[in-house]
Structure 1
Amino acid sequence: MPRVAIAGGSSASLGRAIVSSILLSPIKSHWEISILSRGDRKPLWLRALDPHGLRTRMEVVDYRDVSSIKAVLASSHTLISVTSVTDGSQVQVETNLLKAAVQAGCVRFAPSQWGFGPKGWENMHHFRSIGQPIWEECVRYKGEIECAKFNMGAFMNYIGLGAVTNPSASDLTELESIQRLQEGGGYIAGEDEVVQGLQRQGDLEDGSGAFLLGMRNAIATLPCRDDGQLPRVTFTTVKDVGRFVAASLDLVKWEENMTMVGETVNLGDLLRHAEEITGFDFKVEIRSREADEERLRQLPPNDVLGQLFTQFRLAFGRDAQDEGILEPVVNRLCPDIKPMGIREYMEGCWRAAKAT
């Protein structure tokens, strides 16, 4: 069986989405999975889906040491990174992963550059400062390993953050959690199923952790184009990213930009869906480019998240193809994957919210 290695694969968000999608694929998957991690502790969702370790194995690595990574990649065909390092060493970690993959004879590598389209990586300082040097390294090894960037736009789940007020697993025993995770295909019904591992990092003023729109508190902060019209944005759920990536493993060749789309929607329609589903009249702030540029100037340098979400709004406001608006490349290559649309996702959020 071919083996895929997933660096950071024990994470609750993209790691869980990709691993669970491979394990639960309706088409019997022949891929075995190595999960690269700094520790050997199995998350509960993995214990629920592969309790006996028949398809997955945990591999403890030192991301600072190429030889440590290479040692666990010897039999891997593909290396996918979903690492997210916050100590300033992300570029070095990704470069080490790439070098180890080349030395181990891996065929393919996907660096941890999940997000906007190719122009987004060029136009947004936060992404450019990290993504550009990593991709330059990938280009250097062209001919020795096939590299691709998986782009998916904005995570749809950011508009579901805060909708469900009670953490669904807080009162469960470990055994009960594992049972619920088995029943939900790696997710516990309620908040876990809605959020899919995202952290409450969005900058809405209600403090919910949502971004752009918060359903429970009926609040929205939306960017506009320079002509005053609301832009289009491509959204994809975390789970659907996992499903697309899992399906792409069986492709003979990857494209340089493996872009996927849940749904591209005008933000005016996003707001309309939210008001129809909840029955609320939303408090809406329309944020101009000038207002967000001024906000960006005023934010302290150490407010990384504040800067990041402000840059997101500025990018959305440009309403540009291959930045906030993506082409459905992986959708075309893997037509059996039918992603969730924005209204279906919001209706599921609201059902879960009303149940709490």
Structure 2
Amino acid sequence: MKSQRIAVAGGQGKIGKHIVEGLLEAKQRYSLELIIVLSRSEAPDITYAGNSAPVIAVDYTDQASLQGVLEQHEIDTVISTISGHTPDAFITSQENLLQAALNVPSFHRFAPSEFSIPSEQVADKIKLYKMKLPILHSLRRAKQERPTNSFEFSLLNCGMFMNYLGYGNTKPDGHKAHGYLARFPIIFDLSRRFADVPGDGERQIVYTHADDVGRFVAAATQLDVWEEYLDMAGEVATINEVLRMCEDVCGTKFNVKYNSREDILARMSSAPEKFMENFFMEGYLATIDGDSDAIRPNNLNKLVDVKPMGVREYLEKWWGN
């Protein structure tokens, strides 16, 4: 059953806002009845493409109040883009959101906060991703316990956000290259003409522009059936292939550092303030080991009519002359 009344949890910022805008852009095309945003804080409505989504302040520790909001708006689909700085808060927020939704008569679809590399593939390498696993167990249990076809869930993944390739560009509107995402480089720092490569650069990476993630998710809500995994991609390319595109568009060779496993381990530290640096290095290790490779390449691309931006197109927009 297609989605018509959708709640986006955490939809005020980062990838969540891109998804809200993707839904608002497609509201008339898909005859969506309602889009709401669940947030920990009050905020004005989100308006985009002539449509608006109210922002509703909720307490993710209060299951009953969450249920009340979802019931009031007769929500059938919940898309979680919740983030959390502590595993306990992240796990509890998503679990309470799911359990509240399961008690709402109109509800039948849930997408947990994935939107990256599939968490199950990399949780052994990337510690932060372990906190994404409990909700997957709860989702599978809920599907087993509910009558056939009355509940679906999907893990929506997009690989790496293409927007990080825009870091440091000097275009007059260069800030738009990042969308609502944080501004930092991953692997490629085009402003320095530098590439910090895990392994030999022959592993493939999935790149998707954040705006296209919103469009893919909006289109996915109109599928008659949700598969457990729906992977999207703007482009799948090896790191070396992306490097050659970067060099071609910038018109110069890059300074490239190819990192062995030993190089990466030497850059890691047990100091608490090095948490984020370690997170990226753990991602490098997962890349070297092939744990971040696309194992269901672009299956959502084949199910919906979305024409995503490719890497070269993005590079030419923000780095071309």
Q: Normalised by the size of structure 2, how large is the TM-score?
A: 0.89
Work out the CA distance in 1 between the residues paired with 2:301 and 2:154.
15
RMSD, aligned α-carbons: 2.1
Q: Matched residue of 1:198: which SS?
A: coil
Cα deviation, 1:50-71, whole Å, max 9, x if unaligned, reads 5xxx642221100111112111
Conserved 8 A contact 2:203-2:293: no
Q: By how many angstroms is 1:125 displaced?
A: 3.4
Work out the CA distance in 2 between the residues paired with 1:112 and 1:118.
10
Q: By how many angstroms is 1:241 displaced?
A: 0.9
Work out the CA distance in 1 between the residues paired with 2:318 and 2:27.
25
Conserved 8 A contact 2:123-2:130: no
Letter in 2 for 1:273: M
Q: By how many angstroms is 1:252 displaced?
A: 1.1
2:8 pairs, out of 1, 6, 17, with: 6
* Equivalent in the alignment of 2:75: 76
Work out the CA distance in 2 between the residues paired with 1:294 and 1:47.
47
* Equivalent in the alignment of 2:185: 210
Distance 1:213 1:125, change over 3 A: closer
1:280 pairs, out of 252, 258, 275, with: 252
Conserved 8 A contact 2:24-2:48: no
Q: Normalised by the size of structure 1, how large is the TM-score?
A: 0.80
* Equivalent in the alignment of 1:205: none
Distance 1:42 1:232, change over 3 A: same
Distance 1:340 1:86, change over 3 A: same
Conserved 8 A contact 1:295-1:310: yes
Q: How does 1:125-144 map to 2 (within 5 A)?
A: 125-142=126-143, 143-144=145-146
Residue 9 (structure 2) pairs with residue 25 (structure 1): no
Work out the CA distance in 2 between the residues paired with 1:36 and 1:90.
15
* Equivalent in the alignment of 1:191: 175
* Equivalent in the alignment of 1:313: 284
Percent of paired sites with the same residue: 31
* Equivalent in the alignment of 2:236: 264
Conserved 8 A contact 2:250-2:319: yes
Letter in 2 for 1:213: F
* Equivalent in the alignment of 1:182: none
How many residue pairs are counted as aligned between the two chains? 308
Q: Matched residue of 1:269: which SS?
A: helix
Work out the CA distance in 2 between the residues paired with 1:119 and 1:263.
22
Q: Matched residue of 1:275: which SS?
A: helix
Work out the CA distance in 2 between the residues paired with 1:101 and 1:198.
28
Work out the CA distance in 2 between the residues paired with 1:118 and 1:332.
22
Conserved 8 A contact 2:187-2:196: yes
Work out the CA distance in 2 between the residues paired with 1:118 and 1:195.
23
1:222 pairs, out of 178, 186, 197, with: 197
Greater CA drift, 228-237 or 77-86:
228-237
Q: Which runs of 5+ in 1 are unaligned?
A: 169-188, 201-208
Q: By how many angstroms is 1:119 displaced?
A: 4.7
* Equivalent in the alignment of 2:299: 329
Conserved 8 A contact 1:236-1:262: yes
Conserved 8 A contact 1:118-1:257: no
Q: Matched residue of 1:10: which SS?
A: coil
Letter in 2 for 1:266: T
Work out the CA distance in 1 between the residues paired with 2:197 and 2:239.
7
